[in-house]
Structure 1
Amino acid sequence: MPSSARPFLFACAALIALPALASARPAPQVLCHVTYGGETQILRASPVASPYAVAPVAIGSYFLFRIVVQTEPAALAAVKLYTYADREGGPVPIHQQAVAWPPPRLRPGAPGGFTGLQWVYEPVRDGELQYWCERRADRSAR
């Protein structure tokens, strides 16, 4: 192989490898610290293409909590948080919060995160759910 072809081949190999390197970057993740009945759960969410595929998570016997992270398209990029009352007739929305993407970067575990501490009350049983969310850079976050 002529030595003049080596730089060209090296450049081609680098261009071919570039998408693989870009996809190896850690995906952003949102962690929500949800407290109900004295117990705290950490719920994790990664960006999704469609918000309709994200199912809520049961919290206790009454609440459902849903985290939707959309990073594209830019006009719709947001973190949307939904709390539902799990009623006999089906879920009823009782709280919603939306934060533009990307949310502010704070130090990991900063109290209140990018949402601030939120309180949601059961309209029937007088219970309380609290949550706050933070952004992490990868899936290995605690």
Structure 2
Amino acid sequence: MSSPSARPTSCLRRPIVTRPRGRWAAGLWFAMLGAVAGVASAQNIQCHVSFAGATRTFTIAPGSQTDAVTPLLEGASFVLEVINRLPPEPGAGVKVRTYGVFSGEPYLMHQAFYLPQNDPRGPHGFTGLQVIREPLRHHELAYWCERAPTR
């Protein structure tokens, strides 16, 4: 008589699969190298800004969280800031803020955040064409940003 706690033994067992460590380590190394190369090639971004009948292109290098934000454009009716942070920085991605200016004081009108891996191949980069209209004077500012071409 067999006891209830006894388990039947099976002659079929899963085979133990071993992989050579050298191949695994080399694969991991190449994967890390590809990730670093991808981040390195996407560090700078270019933003194309149209305001008051002129279009200008700005190149924005990555910065850290402690860096002071310098506006790309400061005018009588608009202030435009673009922040570019790479992983593993807190808040990694591209943040665009547009302020209107009323009585000399800026107020936030538009803010957008784009993740670092967001990189479609459209005619207006990863942001798409964005148009912001200042409500008092009806001035318009348009921008779009893309990853800077690698050299």
Are 1:128 and 2:111 counterparts?
no
Higher relative contact order (CA 8 A, sep 6+): 1
Q: Deviations over 1:80-124 (max 9, x none)?
A: 001111233521110011100133153xxx521110000100111
Matches of residues 93-108 of structure 1 in structure 2 within 5 Å?
93-104=108-119, 106=121
Normalised by the length of structure 2, the TM-score is 0.64
Match of 2:45 in 1: 30
Query: Are 2:79 and 2:100, in contact at CA under 8 Å, matched by a contact in 1?
Result: yes
Distance, in Å, in 2 between the alignment partners of 1:43 and 1:71 is 18
Match of 1:43 in 2: 58
Query: Are 1:49 and 1:72, in contact at CA under 8 Å, matched by a contact in 2?
Result: no
How many positions carry a matched residue from both structures?
Answer: 113
Query: Are 2:65 and 2:90, in contact at CA under 8 Å, matched by a contact in 1?
Result: no
Are 1:58 and 2:82 counterparts?
no
Match 2:127 to one of 102, 115, 119 = 115
Normalised by the length of structure 1, the TM-score is 0.68
Alpha-carbon distance, 1:42 to partner: 0.8
Match of 1:76 in 2: 91
Query: Are 1:118 and 1:132, in contact at CA under 8 Å, matched by a contact in 2?
Result: yes
Over the aligned positions, Cα root-mean-square deviation in angstroms equals 2.4
Query: Are 1:82 and 1:93, in contact at CA under 8 Å, matched by a contact in 2?
Result: yes
Distance, in Å, in 1 between the alignment partners of 2:90 and 2:63 is 15
Question: Where do 5+ consecutive residues of structure 2 fail to align?
Answer: 1-36
Change in CA separation of 1:59 and 1:74 when aligned onto 2, cut-off 3 Å = closer
Question: Where do 5+ consecutive residues of structure 1 fail to align?
Answer: 1-21
The amino acid of 1:98's aligned partner reads: F
Change in CA separation of 1:52 and 1:86 when aligned onto 2, cut-off 3 Å = farther
Larger radius of gyration: 2
Distance, in Å, in 2 between the alignment partners of 1:103 and 1:51 is 24
Change in CA separation of 1:129 and 1:101 when aligned onto 2, cut-off 3 Å = same
Runs of 4+ in 1 over 3 A off after TM superposition: none
Distance, in Å, in 2 between the alignment partners of 1:68 and 1:27 is 14
Which has a greater percent of strand?
1
Percent sequence identity is: 35
